Structure 1
Amino acid sequence: MAPFALPPLPAVGTAWGPSTTEASTKGLSFEDAPFAPFSKSDKLGKLADWSQESGRDGRDQRGGRQGGRNHRDPYQAYGASTVSNFQFQNEDDESSFSVVDSRSAATKPRGGSGFGQGRGGLILRSQGGGRGGARGFNARGGNQSMRGGFQRYGGRGGNDSQRGGQRGGQRGGAAGGRRFGWKDYDKPQRLRDSSVVIAPEWKMLDEIDFIRLAKLSLDIKEGADIDTYGFTYYYDKSLDRPGASSEWKLQVIDALLYNPTTSDDPVIQQLAAKNEGTVFATDSILSMLMCSPRSVYPWDIVVTREGDKLFFDKRDGSPLDFVSVNENAVEPPVESADGKESINSPSSLALEATFINHNFAEQAVIESAKAKHEFAHPNPFYNPEEETEPLASRGYRYRKFNLSAQDEEEPLNLIVRTEVDGAIKNPTGEDSFITIKALNEFDTRAPGAGGALDWRSKFSSQRGAVVATEMKNNSCKLARWTVQSILAGAEQMKLGFVSRANPKDKSRHVVLGVVGYKPREFANQMNFSVANGWGIARSIIDMCMALPEGKYVIVKDPNKPVIRLYDVPKDAFDQPEKEDE
């Protein structure tokens, strides 16, 4: 590298400027150097003057732009055109850069049409200048309802093209005249509690986000029945006829239903002792694993590794025992801020939906002691010597699925206890099985309704729109029901639409109609991949099979799309036996 040397500098005897004599003798020349003309009245040091304070965008305190035409500073008028010779030239093109002001400018509506903000609401005017004027709707207070966005459009020759523009902006008037979406960033974050308390001694082993789970896939064959238990009544086909009554009352039927966990099932205990399978679960638990990327509410699953066997269980009072409502809505139901119990809170709605599903499944079948489908064995959980209430229509099919890939030599058998709710006769005269579920409507104006349509007025005329809205607001619940129907080998899945008789009363309900779907076709309509569900189940099973013997817990984070695997003590979740008084 060549050495760096400073050029010779002349000695300056005066306080200002170089000496021309010394500069010429030393070989220095100031020819062709940029020079700004100045007058005797110019201020010294004007090229680097920090004495004046400038305002925003280069404006001084007097409001004018520095160097502007109207600036009356005599020291900047002379030689202003040559100052650019000493300015820094940026090579980047900054002409496209601009500062965007996020403040909305207040504009006045022009002409006889448009939207205007009224006293706490909206003033809606119809477009057009026909006779009769514009009969708008003025929401002056927060208690007036717009019932779906707009109520009236008037004026002869008016145009109703604005009908979808601000639809639902003041739905129910619950916002008190607040515009939809206004200051949504300032709303408090909804923090949910975990379904299980994470103890300090628990050790987190792994954390998986839903993005990774959504990329998995595994194609397996149809399952085979190992054994069957229980009985089912035949489905009442009169509920499907188009001429059925518009609505009928949902009856409360006293019948026994059993849903024990995997380890408490005596049939699964026998199958595990015979080495019929390696992994054991119920359809409710397995469907939650397969549909976990769609879940929002917290849940947990207990995993027990015993030898080469793996058991997936649920806790007593687990969220898996209840049916969620509007879990996937943009604004799902929330608990009341004042701590008071509300009939539209998530916990109250879950209890109500579970109650509706149990009663609707019994009402949708024809109870008959002679006309029913008997399985190979009676109900394994019912003891006639101790129970006096009748059994509900429920059949249990224990099925085996091979989760091993084609290139694997050793099979990985999964035993699942599946459930069916009813039976129907095929055209050939053989019995096929169905699952019966119910969707419930609580209050279209309450928070957390998810923009649902009024079922009483729209179900018969806009059934597709009602179903599409439920697919959006209850994506996880419907996906789980579809998976349970596929696991059970059900030919159809019957969905009942149940609404409250009075939106303020959660104890009385009416059935508005029943719609039947084939499970796999319904899964395609929901854009749910069964292969992705099997891929998730196989990945979690492989992760648990690689662990030593012990007890583990899979916990869904209450506020993030993440599941975590914890190592817990063997006595975790064991309830101490209460001594009889």
Structure 2
Amino acid sequence: MASFELPPINDNPDGGWGPSSSNFPAQFKFKDIPYAPYSKSDKLGRFADWNDTSSDNRQATGVASGQTGPRTGRGGRQQPAAFGSGTANAFAYFHVEDESSFSVVANTAGTARRGGAMSRGKTNMRGGFNRNMQRGARTGFNAGRGGGGQRGGRRGWRDWDKGRAREGSVIISPEWAMLEEIEFIRLSKLRLDVDTPDDVENCGRLFAYDKSYDRINTKNEKPLQLVDRIKYNTTTSDDPVIQQLASQDAAEVYTTDVILSVLMTAPRSVYPWDIVIVREGNKLYFDKRDGGPFDTVTVNENAADPPQDPQPPNPNDKNAVPEVPSMNSATSLSLEATYINQNFAFQAVAENQAVELDKPNPFYGPDETEPLASCGYRYRVYDMSVKEDEDMRICVRTEVDAFMPGTGNPKDGQGLVTIRALNEFDPRAQGAGGAPDWRSKLDSQRGAVVATEMKNNSCKLAKWTVQSVLAGADTMKIGYISRANPRDNTRHVILSTASMRPADFAAQLNVSLANGWGIVRTVTDLCMKQPEGKYVLVKDPNKPVIRLYAVPMNAFTVEEEDDVEVGLDGEGSE
């Protein structure tokens, strides 16, 4: 006759579920290990060593599900299990070495490209992929039509290169305190209408724009010359005119058009930047750092595949040799574009026609002997007040590069011109952004060239347009400058010059000045709520977000070394 016997039950007199530690079966060797819940969606915290054939390693990857070895994916390649540690996993493994020591291997089979792309041991340093990690295995990328992408929206190998992390424009110190974080999507919704500004000071000397540059075309190109002239880009706090205006309480906020344009077009920016903000009493000063991102010009910042700098060497590899930057790297192109912009503005003026503004150049000292470039500084005060009983004015030092002869008196703000330059480096190089060949398209299909530049350089063109509007310029001249030879970044030629009105061009670029002023007012209010001190507004290098930090007063300052050296006894010696 069948019978059923109840199993022994270990009662827990202390309460709760499960047996107590006193009567827990001694043969259960895992009694002192805490329970750690896990989910099948969790990732493994430990990687398996595929070169280790010991049984311990095979069990390490299959212990959670009873497997005796790692799973096998498509193509016979071993893959880690899709389960693992929970939020409180006591078995989690943390890799202490640098993650750059790993190489990514494609997990799909494909055919090798012709031309030796799959040669043994070859590594694609730009994408960070090791193309032959497993000898004898076909681990190439899909090289069919349309590139390396796959169906179903899966990312191709070039997408990984696009997502490569950038370094910030400034190193965030642990001593800094983050006060605010604002996403770009929030900045894009701000709006503030600002009236016409008041001109308080006009300084400098302007030359007439040379109209002969409007007649240049691809059949009649002109070499870009190296013009030896001086042009100052002094930060806000070091401007003697702004210091004088601040002593007269001309405004509550002080800045320059270069700094302000970056803030007003922040939602378009991709590359990192930072603005140093100092509050003294009820006044704010927006400054730039020496050698910071404001002193150079970007190239194809908004392109789908922008120019890249070489990857830094692996710090874990002592024998690693740094990759030499090419002439088409992001940093090299930025320096080249800065050189082109300065010299084109110096060259495209007629120095035999000059107009002296109300006051001389405030940065040109009596001991200077080198000739000054054509530049006019217009100090303008904009009213950002929202309520009638508040005062929130901002004084902006704006710049113009020339005047158009025969269009009025430049001293009264008539016929002012800003001069900028777009540059072509190599349409076939990585980072060109699909730009057409200017020499064959500028004359016949200028619209296609302009549309491509508006897409690839949306942020740069927006900043130039905002600067022109802030300065009250009637015309903005943009030169199209290309290399004389794509493999030589030292010789350039002017292919064409376009003329446009800043307000109309802002509409074409979909640049909203009201949105820009809303961003400026929001940042101003955030800083005015803080106590006196120094702050820095930082654009995240890899995310569309800006952050406001409180920093020490000695941050970003270069302390001069004392002439007196301190001896070992603590006393000074000459």
**TM-score normalized with structure 1 length:** 0.68
User: Aligned partners of 1:225, 1:313: CA distance in 2, in Å?
Assistant: 21
Matched, 1:317 2:291: yes
The structural deviation recorded for 1:339 is 2.2
Q: Which has the larger radius of gyration?
A: 1
User: Aligned partners of 1:395, 1:212: CA distance in 2, in Å?
Assistant: 35
Unmatched runs of 5 consecutive residues or more in structure 2: 4-106, 118-141, 312-321, 565-574
Matched, 1:223 2:197: yes
Match of 2:277 in 1: 303
Matched, 1:398 2:379: yes
User: Displaced runs of 4+ in structure 1, greater than 4 A?
Assistant: 103-106, 175-179, 242-245, 426-431
The one of 471, 476, 480 equivalent to 2:459 is 476
Q: What do residues 221-261 of structure 1 show as CA deviations (whole Å, max 9, x unaligned)?
A: 12121011101100011211377953110000000110110
Match of 1:254 in 2: 228
SS of the aligned residue for 2:520 comes to: helix
Q: 1:149-298 residue pairs with structure 2 within 5 A? A: 179-182=146-149, 184-186=155-157, 187-188=160-161, 189-241=163-215, 246-298=220-272
Q: 1:302 to 1:566 in 2, by over 3 A?
A: same
SS of the aligned residue for 1:540 comes to: helix
Q: 1:414 to 1:250 in 2, by over 3 A?
A: same
- Alpha-carbon contact 2:218-2:495 (below 8 Å) kept: no
- Alpha-carbon contact 1:229-1:377 (below 8 Å) kept: yes
User: Aligned partners of 2:347, 2:300: CA distance in 1, in Å?
Assistant: 24
SS of the aligned residue for 1:347 comes to: helix
Q: What do residues 501-537 of structure 1 show as CA deviations (whole Å, max 9, x unaligned)?
A: 1111111100000001100100111111111111111
Match of 1:343 in 2: 327
- Alpha-carbon contact 1:141-1:177 (below 8 Å) kept: no
The one of 512, 524, 532 equivalent to 2:515 is 532
The structural deviation recorded for 1:180 is 2.3
Matched, 1:381 2:353: no
The one of 545, 549, 552 equivalent to 1:569 is 552
Q: 1:401-440 residue pairs with structure 2 within 5 A? A: 401-405=382-386, 407-427=387-407, 431-440=414-423
Matched, 1:353 2:320: no
Q: 1:427 to 1:200 in 2, by over 3 A?
A: closer
Q: 1:451-462 residue pairs with structure 2 within 5 A? A: 451-462=434-445
The structural deviation recorded for 1:185 is 4.0
Match of 1:36 in 2: none
User: Aligned partners of 1:247, 1:532: CA distance in 2, in Å?
Assistant: 39
SS of the aligned residue for 1:240 comes to: helix
**TM-score normalized with structure 2 length:** 0.69
Matched, 1:367 2:351: yes
Match of 1:334 in 2: 308
User: Aligned partners of 1:482, 1:383: CA distance in 2, in Å?
Assistant: 31
Q: 1:242 to 1:341 in 2, by over 3 A?
A: closer
SS of the aligned residue for 1:447 comes to: coil
Match of 1:136 in 2: none
User: Aligned partners of 1:537, 1:429: CA distance in 2, in Å?
Assistant: 32
- Alpha-carbon contact 2:407-2:415 (below 8 Å) kept: no
Match of 1:507 in 2: 490
- Alpha-carbon contact 1:120-1:178 (below 8 Å) kept: no
Q: Which amino acid aligns with 1:395?
A: G
SS of the aligned residue for 2:355 comes to: strand
User: Aligned partners of 2:443, 2:218: CA distance in 1, in Å?
Assistant: 11
User: Aligned partners of 1:313, 1:426: CA distance in 2, in Å?
Assistant: 37
- Alpha-carbon contact 2:381-2:396 (below 8 Å) kept: yes
The structural deviation recorded for 1:14 is 11
- Alpha-carbon contact 1:333-1:346 (below 8 Å) kept: yes
- Alpha-carbon contact 1:554-1:563 (below 8 Å) kept: yes
Q: 1:351 to 1:428 in 2, by over 3 A?
A: closer
Q: Which amino acid aligns with 1:561?
A: P
The structural deviation recorded for 1:336 is 2.3
User: Aligned partners of 1:372, 1:256: CA distance in 2, in Å?
Assistant: 16
The structural deviation recorded for 1:373 is 1.5
Alignment RMSD (CA, Å): 2.5
Q: 1:544 to 1:455 in 2, by over 3 A?
A: same
The structural deviation recorded for 1:329 is 0.3
- Alpha-carbon contact 1:403-1:412 (below 8 Å) kept: yes
- Alpha-carbon contact 1:252-1:359 (below 8 Å) kept: yes
SS of the aligned residue for 2:496 comes to: strand
